[in-house]
Chain A
Amino acid sequence: MKCKIRYLFHLLLVFLLATEVQAQNIRVTGKVTRKTTGEPLYGATVTLKGTKQSTTTNSTGDFSLSVPANSGTLVITYIGMTTQETAYNGAGAVSIILEEGNAAILNDVVVVGYGQQRRTAVTGAISTVGTKELVQSPVADLSNALQGRVPGIITKQASGEPGSDAAAIYIRGNSTFGATMAPLFVVDGIVRSFRDFSQLDANEVESVNILKDASSAAIFGVKGANGVILVTTKRGKAGRTVANYSFNYGFQKVTKYNNSVDSWQYATLLNEALLNDGLPLAFTNDQIDNFRKGTDPIVYPNTNWEKLVLGGTAPQMQHNLSFSGGTEKTRYFASLGYLDQDGLYSSLNYKRYNVRINLDIQATKTTKVSVDISGRLENKKAPTTSISGIFEHTLRNPPTIPAYYPGVGYAQVGSYVNTLRAVDPAAGYDNTENNTILTNFQLEQQIPWVKGLSIKGVFAFDKRLNYQKTWNDNVYTYTKNTGTGNFDRSAYNNPNLSEKYYQDHQTEMQGHINYTNRFGKHGISALVLFLQQERPQNEFGASRSGYEFSFFDVLDQGPSNNAGSITETINGKKDRFALRSGAARINYDYDNKYLLQASLRRDESEQFAPNHRRGYFPAFSAGWVLSKEKFMENTLSTVDFLKLKGSWGKLGNDAATDPTKNDNPYRFLYLPRYATVANDYAFGGTIVPGLNPVAANPLASWEASTKMDVGAEARFLNGLLSIEIDYFRESRNQILTTRYAQIPASYGGPLPAENIGKVLNRGVELSLSHYKTISKDLSYSVRGNLTIAKNKILEAAEAANVPAAFKVVGRPIGSYYGYKAIGIIKDQATLTSYGKNTAFPVGLGDIMYQDVNKDGNIDNADRQFLSGGAIPEVVFGFSGGVNYKGFELSFLFQGATNTHQQLTNNAGFAFFNGGRVTGEWLDRWTPDNPNGKYPRLSTNATATTNNYQVPGGPAFGQGGNSFWIQDAKYLRLKNLELAYSFQPAILQKIGASQLRLFATGQNLLTFTKIHNVDPENTNGNGWYYPAMAVYNFGLNIQF
């Protein structure tokens, strides 16, 4: 214990007091590039030979080193490159080009679960996104920076709302319908939450490794079936202190507005719809003329609600300051980040502070101590109206109603919700503070008398404290009284307040035994691991309503009695999660040519019954480096490297979710019990509690996944061209799902989830890259990747008598089912020849449906599979860049196909729920426009009319008709960057080692056929904050 404290003092001293006192030194600067590509090398170590003075290169490959003598030799090392020595003479710039040797390539390492491996020895499927690409995307949420960069990752960004704009990540597509497909997130060796990953400051991150196949992820056992995302943060290197400051400032803007119509068009179209419905018209011709003239904006407005709420631009700003350096004994990386992102309305803002210190202490020659401490403060300010509420009504409100009466206030017309008022800061706030501290202490001890043997203890403690405060305040609205001509003010809306605290702490302990050694041509490394994890959590909240006035947003100041409309609530909850695991892994290679890996993990999860808790997850993989074979020698001039690999393994997924409870994780599924219901019924005016039986399945277990992968990696022509290709196949069994589709509702009880479902998911990944250096000043690169992942359901507890065309078995997860539209009845002749009996009246201008069983009726038996769902089966990315002197231009296109979206509500239907009509309806069927693309107008956009019917779908797909299902394929210019790095000669004058200016853009161009919703979104009603285009400028300076 004593020594631990001493280390702590040591590191504190080093950190606080270490300043560099330099004698009369000169400064040598230079640039390190990769020979084959001309790419600048980031993180190369430059050491003055014979001393401990060293530095590392920055992201443009530049370095600056203070040296005491006028001449000497620099030693430049970089992982994967041949170490090079370069002499210098006097101050000034040197240029160093490093070369990849076969030996050097062999030493390039990649982070894997609980360890690292030489990249050439990897037999699994792992993709890496480096810090440069992560920083390049001007996005607040790291999950949006992975898109399109590497194969095997499919993302869907559900919202662009600051602070809530994360993308859902699907590694190699979707393999389950019973549980989340969210991968496991591991930050510096500890399993952490998605948000711990996505809210990292990209400047802190060294690399993100995506473990896609069984052999790489199986070490995570019951948590690993969805793939694993490993984040490695930056660490200090021995040498001079490097200070880095980066700054970004940008504007966000809506990528695309909906198709809108003017108020006179709306009035005209509404009259047409009412006429079609045989209902009285809503507007007279005079009124329509007045709308068209627009001279009386109070009575005859032309309101574009979407632009009122979302118009303009919102700024975002990001600062990051980091220091790194240290000595052979103690190395550190410290970073401080700040993000401030505004929303498109003023009541929306997100601020984030990230701080990190990573320390490495070589306590003795054989003992290494690492201490990582990082913290994150998030502060989100939002309106009290939910996002879905704001957008539901923004998209519903017709253009014929005013948003405000000048000089009076917000207009209230009928029951239309004035969303401009809803986003007014005066209407209150919904503030969320998330405070997170993540710590990680490691002690690694080499065992001196056994070469290659070491032990490691890891202790991680994370603490989260979240606080939410919601204050709903009064903002008056006004209604124009047609009788008096006055503006009647709304009643005072008594404010209400709620506050909620949440906290959890996660403790994880790991013990590792590592052994790595070579015996001649035989290389062996082995790992034995024990871990246990525990996460108790609790929350507490209180609320009061009926505040008399708006002065105090304090709970103490609210009325404390429960009477009439005044309520107060207090609530609290607790829970605990736990996991105990052990794992072993062994790697063997013969001459780095034949590679083998085997691993086994044992897990115990508290999610399941004591006798069904334990699971074993094995994996095997093998690789063959053909390029090392004698018979390949002749081709070595063209083939630099060629490896074949294959893997097989079993993994689990215990993150099953309960579709009847907002997809919350299943808890205690095995335990027969009765849930308490606090306020269940009222007898004689007294509210009494209840107990509600809960369905249990004592046999419940995790989803079992069996994965297989075969692939090849190759590099040709001295690195000019690299190819990686993988075929993968996963069968996911024991998917937890209920038998609601098989058991009659007359059973009357809830049904427990059972391990029933089966899904097969297969696909191919391909990535290609090409670099070329044309001259010392000019180089370029292009890269492309493609992922195809197709799944099909093999078992889903369907009802027995479901017609084949309507079965989910054999079809992809999340597919659309319903009636297939085959055209619009354009004239009487078409109507006659259509001649079907339909449940709903059909006439001219209506949609015709396919009669699957040809019985002359359009009925339930004619429902069929229509198309795949919203998660794309094919995604691709295409990126490139050109470097010329100090200039860099790079781009990333990203896209997806085989993806569909069903438009619903006001995103698709005309006049839905008394709402707006969108512009594409201008091309509708009318007697004069019989070939219109859209059916005849009606105010009756309901499930019980022919054109909008949404029959009850099967358990795994939405019902609908294919007319509203649109192809959501898209191609997007995700990222574009133009940057300039100043030359060392100029930098010297300001004492900097690097200065880079850049302009970046995100989501700048989108090519898609789908309208009114973003193609990346999974929500067909448009009730979300849209994805943003970002125009960003910034600089990066390093000393």
Chain B
Amino acid sequence: MITRNFKWITGILIMGTLIASCKRNLLDVYPSNSLSDATVFTDISLANRFLNDVYGTLPNGFARRDQNPGDAGWSRGMSAFAMAEDDAEANNLASSTQGLNQGVLPTTWAYADDIWTQNYAVIRKANLFMEKIDAAPADAAVKSRMKAEAQFLRAFCHAELVKCFGGVPLMLKAGTPEESIIPRNTYEECLNQIVKDCDEAAAALPVAVQSSDLGRATKMAALALKARMLLYYASPLNNTANDLGRWTNAAAAAKAAMAYGPPPGSGDYGLYPDYYRLFLDKLGNKEVIFARKFQNPDIKPSDGARNKWYMSVPGVNDGAWGGFAPTQNLVDAYEMKNGKAISDGSSDYDDQHPYDNRDSRLDKSVIHQGTVYKAGIVIETYRGGNTNNTNRLDSSKTGYGLMKMVDTSKYGAAGDADNDWIFLRYAEVLLNYAEAQNEAVGPDASVMDALNQVRARSGQPNVPALSQADMRDRIRNERRVELSFEEHRFFDVRRWKLGMTFFRQPARKVQITKNPDGTFTYSYPKWEDRDYKEFQNLLPIPQSELDRNGKLTPNPGYY
């Protein structure tokens, strides 16, 4: 009997133990990968990490999405705005940029959605930072500089939105979700806010930073952004009455930035000697004013996507897609070495030797027949040549490939290229000045000087004296060539209201036949028809945003 009792008592004891062993703090679990709101802004180094993340969220040309709405991700970086211009063609005909260059631009266009969402994400983070940094225990000067960086980033992202959509809702504080249901501000209100943010940031930021801080916002970045946006404000699209005062302001803003250019400026900024290396070299590159920074191995364009831009080159078998194909239209825009356009009868242009004696920027931007690629591979774009196997749907559509921004030394492992995406560089400041000054006062010496500085770097002769209108065309062509594929022409043509002129021209390609005697015959047939509609000067406000915010008015022309 004793034994039996003993056993069930044991049983009860075991049960008791089970219950008593309940952990008091069983349910207290904390994340091991995040910090609480209160912690972050009590420590300046943690606050600094938050500021890092604001930079880390910057959208950029290497990470544009080019696919169907909802089909996110895998094709990021395959295209830039350039493929929706007359300068290039998307190899992937399934891309939505391809749709755009065919004149199809639905309100569900993925780009518009991405630009809207990604820029506002940076803006909110910048606002949050500006609101919270004051509480952090740190030196006031340090905090003031950090705050100014955030303010610049807010201005930069508002500017990106304004470039695409015109007036947008200005977000100047990190409000509640409901507080974001507001109407659009006017173009003017947006511009004034951007200028104000730039001015305030410029006052608190250093002109330049030491090399370990490269990538941080500077006074120069704020000045250059202001100059760019004032130029947009003065442009025909936004300045229908052609108020010359706006051009004057734009020229003055660019001039203010040029004060930090080469002597007689302060010399903190200037043109980089080599146009090709400009996009690859980071240290000592005084031309770069503001860029999205990358760094191997961990900070690379998403999905290692840049390799998809490269031309598919034989013997370099690493899955390059040749996703990006410059057009003959662009190639024709490069002058001869002698400074004459190829359409000029006295230019010595030979359409059977089209790449001889051209502006050196052509070779540095575009891969073509005869380009000597990495390790001595000679590119053959003739029919049947090593990069033009016509049985494939993925060979270059136009007979050209991308050279600019492609680091051929890293090509063997394409995803490892870590060159930065440059948002603002000194050459643009010069061209902005030349354009604004030419409109404000005409083609004076300062206009020619600014233009010639850019041309001289690439060995092009000075421009001759021209009428204001001819100078305007010259400056426009210079922008096209100098700033190719950098997401400028997409907006430039729009703000000049020349989309109906340029973007409706058929895209042309080069067709090269190898003759039995080893010579080549070149022809330049149409690759495809293009279309454009005047209302597409502004991108559509995303349909999903119209659905969510009843106070938004759509841009005209879209349905």
Contact = CB atoms under 8 A, between A and B. Distances in A.
B295 interface: yes
A573 interface: yes
A674 interface: yes
Contact of B120 (A282, A416, A491, A746): A746
Interface stretch (A174-182, A479-487, A1012-1020): A479-487
A574 B29 CA distance: 11
Interface stretch (B105-113, B265-273, B427-435, B457-465): B105-113
B120 A748 contact: yes
B128 A576 contact: no
B516 interface: no
B320 interface: yes
Interface in B24-50: 26-37, 40, 46, 49-50
Contact of B102 (A479, A565, A944): A944
Contacts of A276: none
Which range contains the number of A residues in contact with the other chain? 35 or more
A689 B29 CA distance: 24
Contact of B391 (A282, A456, A459, A950): A282
A668 B529 CA distance: 54
B10 interface: yes
Contact of A800 (B4, B296, B550): B550
A685 B177 contact: no
Most buried by B among A417, A605, A680: A680
A445 B297 contact: no
Interface stretch (A101-109, A115-123, A360-368, A623-631): A360-368
Given A690-B50, A942-B68, A681 B108 contact: no
B18 A913 contact: no
A746 B393 contact: no
Given A689-B49, A914-B393, A534 B93 contact: no
Contact of B549 (A605, A676, A746): A746
B505 interface: no
B543 interface: yes
B290 to A, nearest CB: 13
Contacts of B298: 678-679, 687
Nearest to B386: A483
B315 interface: yes
B175 to A, nearest CB: 8
A676 B543 contact: no
Interface in B46-99: 46, 49-50, 52-53, 55-56, 67-71, 92-96, 98-99
A951 B179 CA distance: 28
Interface stretch (A18-26, A129-137, A594-602, A952-960): A952-960
Contacts of B11: 367, 443-445, 455, 457
A681 B55 contact: yes
B36 A672 contact: yes
Contacts, number: 360
A681 B56 contact: yes
Given A363-B7, A564-B416, A742 B548 contact: yes
A912 B94 contact: yes
Nearest to A744: B549
Contacts of B108: 860, 951-952
Interface stretch (B208-216, B225-233, B448-456): B208-216
Contacts of A532: 22-23, 26
A3 interface: yes
Interface stretch (A213-221, A251-259, A407-415, A886-894): A407-415
A409 B40 CA distance: 57
B389 interface: yes
Contacts of B29: 575-578, 606
A511 B19 contact: yes
A417 B99 CA distance: 26
A564 to B, nearest CB: 6
Interface string B384-407: 111001111111000000000000
Interface stretch (A165-173, A691-699, A1028-1036): A691-699
A283 interface: yes
Contacts of A686: 212, 295
Interface stretch (B166-174, B188-196, B336-344): B166-174
Contacts of A575: 29, 32
A943 B99 contact: yes
B404 to A, nearest CB: 21
Nearest to B418: A682
A613 interface: yes
A9 to B, nearest CB: 16
Interface in B98-125: 98-100, 102, 104, 106-108, 113, 116-117, 120-125
A743 B15 CA distance: 52
Given A681-B299, A687-B295, A943-B69, A802 B547 contact: yes
Contacts of B425: none
A283 B391 contact: yes
A746 B168 contact: yes
B181 interface: yes
A943 B94 contact: yes
Interface residues of B, number: 129
Contacts of B180: 743-744, 746-748
B21 interface: yes
A860 B543 contact: yes
Contact of A840 (B104, B212, B416): B104
Contacts of B410: 564-565
Contacts of A867: none
B50 A674 contact: yes
Interface string A828-870: 0000000000011100000000000000010110000000000
B314 interface: yes
B294 interface: yes
Interface string A791-802: 000000001111
Contacts of A689: 49, 52
A500 interface: no
A743 B177 contact: yes
A517 interface: no
Nearest to A940: B93
A694 B34 contact: yes
B4 A687 contact: no
A680 B51 CA distance: 10
A363 B4 CA distance: 10
A947 interface: no
A412 B108 CA distance: 37
A243 interface: no
B547 A941 contact: no
Contact of A751 (B33, B68, B177): B177
Contacts of B69: 943, 950-952, 959
Contacts of A800: 547, 550
A564 B392 contact: no
Contacts of B283: 685
Contact of A673 (B36, B92, B386, B394): B36
Interface of A: 3-4, 278-279, 282-283, 287, 363-367, 400-401, 412-417, 443-448, 455-457, 459, 477, 479, 481-483, 488, 490-491, 509-511, 530, 532, 534, 562, 564-567, 573-578, 580, 604-606, 610, 613, 667-668, 671-694, 739, 741-749, 751, 799-802, 839-841, 857, 859-860, 911-914, 939-945, 950-953, 958-959
Interface of B: 3-4, 6-8, 10-12, 14-15, 18-19, 21-23, 26-37, 40, 46, 49-50, 52-53, 55-56, 67-71, 92-96, 98-100, 102, 104, 106-108, 113, 116-117, 120-125, 127-128, 168-169, 171, 174-175, 177-181, 209-216, 282-283, 293-299, 312, 314-322, 380, 384-386, 389-395, 410, 412-413, 416, 528-529, 542-550, 552, 559
8 contacts: A414-B395, A565-B410, A575-B32, A668-B31, A671-B31, A673-B34, A684-B213, A944-B104
Q: Which 3 A-B residue pairings sit nearest by Cβ, starting from the closest? A: A944-B99, A748-B124, A914-B393
Given A683-B212, A943-B96, A959-B69, 11 more contacts: A511-B19, A534-B23, A564-B410, A580-B22, A610-B27, A680-B56, A685-B295, A693-B50, A745-B113, A748-B120, A951-B69
